[in-house]
Amino acid sequence: MRVLTFNVNSIRARKEIVRDLFYYKSIDIACLQEIKTTEENFPQIHPEYKCYIHGQKQYNGVATCVRSRIEVDKVQKGFPGEEGESRFIYTQIGKWHLINIYAPLGDLYGERFHYKIRFYRRLREFVSQNFNLHKDLVVLCGDLNIAHQAIDVWDPQQWEGKVVFLPEERIEFDKLLGLGFVDILRYSTNRQIFTFYDYRGGAVYKGEGLRLDYFLVSKPVVKLTKGIEVLLNVRKRKKPTPSDHVPLIVEFRNV
DNA sequence: ATGGCCACCCGAGGTGGA
């Protein structure tokens, strides 16, 4: 089972790129973030996939697209921590529980920062109230908008005191992992790998990136993980315009 | 030589992203 997570920065602007990923990377389940549109205006990506969409006009929005032959048992669009913004969609597929997240960016200790902290607290409540991460097959993926450790930013000195790398938000990330999640990329390698490059300043050509997108998995899922793929070339392509985020694919042994 | 922000709103330029 191959699962994609990808902050598309508008699904309407990126539908061909997503379609190609579905086809060439044989994706079974796609967790998309920042679709930036409503369900009515969500484009047809591929006829053999069904998309469960939690959208809104102009901003945010998440969608989980699943191969038509895969049966989806349950869908929950939204949770209390969103506070009116579309940032959460949960799907249950057999024994698998998939949480697709677009976390708030926040600001420098203003209202949006407190919103981000509340969002993380609510997310942990959702997980701890619904799952046992030592027994259940849980995959939490998406754009978490936090660079967890110094290795996850291209220049830790430059990023000190900046949003996505503030001590308080990194502690929120620690607490999420503390529930029993394993950060699959960091588990599989100690190399520095980024999933976001700013459009400005040629960041992707200079290697000036951040790791903001993650696969966090429960303990039993770790044993079922075959590998993780980071599609930097998709970010580096020029035409059509890429997203500023990098797609990630994890392959799981199905059960 | 190369590349130097993009997409949304809508029909201009302001705003949010990170």
What is the sign of the dihedral through the CA atoms of A255, A175, A73 and A18? Answer: negative
Query: For residues A62 and A101, is the Cβ–Cβ distance under 8 A?
Result: yes
Instruction: Write the pLDDT tens digit of every residue in A26-70.
Output: 999 999 999 999 999 999 999 999 999 999 999 999 999 999 999
pLDDT at A255 over 90: no
Å: A171 CA to B17 C1': 23
**% pLDDT > 70, chain A:** 100
* Cβ-based contacts with strand B at under 7 Å: A 7, 9-10, 12-13, 34, 36-37, 41, 57-59, 104-105, 112, 143, 145, 163-164, 196, 198-202, 205-206, 210, 212, 238, 241, 244-245
Distances (CA, A) of A119 to A104, A109, A250: 8, 15, 25
Å: A120 CA to B9 C1': 29
Tell which strand B nucleotides have any atom below 7 Å from a protein Cβ.
3-9, 16-18
A78 vs A90: CA distance, rounded Å = 8
Query: For residues A89 and A63, is the Cβ–Cβ distance under 8 A?
Result: yes
pLDDT for position A195: 98
If pLDDT is split at 50, 70 and 90, which confidence band does A114 have?
very high
pLDDT for position A189: 97
Q: Is the pTM of this model over 0.85?
A: yes
Instruction: Write the pLDDT tens digit of every residue in A139-196.
Output: 999 999 999 999 999 999 999 999 999 999 999 999 999 999 999 999 999 999 999 9
Query: For residues A161 and A25, is the Cβ–Cβ distance under 8 A?
Result: no
pLDDT for position A149: 98
The CATH class, in words, for A2-252 is: alpha beta
pLDDT at A219 over 80: yes
Å: A249 CA to B6 C1': 24
- Torsion, Cα of A98, A248, A36, A181 (10° steps): 40
Q: Which amino acid is at A20?
A: D
Lowest mean pLDDT among A195-199, A236-240, A243-247: A236-240
Query: For residues A76 and A37, is the Cβ–Cβ distance under 8 A?
Result: no
Q: Quick one: DSSP state of residue A54?
A: E
pLDDT for position A254: 83
Average pLDDT of chain A, as a whole number? 97
Å: A199 CA to B14 C1': 19
Half-sphere exposure of A166 (CA within 13 A, CB side): 17
